[in-house]
């Protein structure tokens, strides 16, 4: 058994969960937040057989898009009378960040 953790963007989550459940996978959605942008994202948790991992990753890849976000860095400490507003920083977010871990499942 493997535990697949997929961190995805909100915009992609609904279609991805629909696709995974239609294929018969059991999915748990966890609300999460990225440490860098501090924006909400979703972590999907699936416990699957080893041979299903590649199919799950394929489905995640098909439903998760890369998007561009802009971050405003903190302004540098200004010297006397000088102010240089920092340029927004462009970052690419997504499609998805996926971790695959060995797992044992016990339903109690
Ligand atoms: P965030 O931490 O909010 O990161 C959002 C995007 O900002 C990242 O997109 C990446 O393009 C950029 N970024 C993150 N940390 C950076 C840094 N130290 N310097 C420059 N740019 C940085 P993704 O790579 O697509 O990641 C999307 C989300 O997936 C992340 O949100 C985080 O929640 C999670 N994630 C990504 N890599 C991870 C890892 N190695 N471990 C745990 N969570 C991870």
- Give the pLDDT confidence of 50-75 residue by residue, as tens digits: 999 999 999 999 999 999 988 887 76
Point out the ligand 1 atom lying closest to the alpha carbon of residue 71. Answer: 7
> Is residue 70 a part of any domain in this protein?
yes
- CA–CA separation, 55 vs 15, rounded Å? 16
Q: Determine the distance from the C-alpha atom of residue 102 to the mean position of all C-alpha atoms in its chain, rounded to a whole number.
A: 20
Q: Which domain holds residue 23?
A: 2-102
pLDDT in tens, 1-43: 999 999 999 999 999 999 999 999 999 999 999 999 999 999 9
* Residue at 60 is within a domain: yes
E strands of 9-95, at which residues? Answer: 28-33, 40-48, 67-71, 89-93
CATH code: domain of residue 36:
3.30.70.120
- To test the ligand 1 pocket, which listed residue (36, 74, 95) has its Cβ within 8 A of the most ligand atoms? 36
The reply to whether 45 falls in a domain is yes
Whether 107 is in a domain gets the answer: no
Total domain count, the chain: 1
Residue 108 lies in a domain: no
pTM score: 0.89
């Amino acid at each position: 058994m493997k535990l697949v953790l997929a961190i995805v963007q909100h915009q992609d989550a609904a279609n991805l969960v629909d696709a995974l459940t239609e294929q018969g996978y059991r999915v748990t959605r966890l609300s999460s937040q990225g440490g860098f942008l501090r924006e909400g994202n979703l972590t999907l948790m699936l416990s699957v057989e080893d041979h299903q991992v590649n199919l799950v990753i394929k489905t995640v890849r098909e439903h998760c898009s890369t998007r561009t976000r802009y971050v405003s860095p903190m302004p540098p400490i200004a010297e006397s009378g000088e102010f240089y507003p920092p340029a927004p920083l462009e970052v690419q977010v997504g499609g998805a960040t996926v971790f695959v871990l060995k797992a044992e499942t016990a339903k109690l």
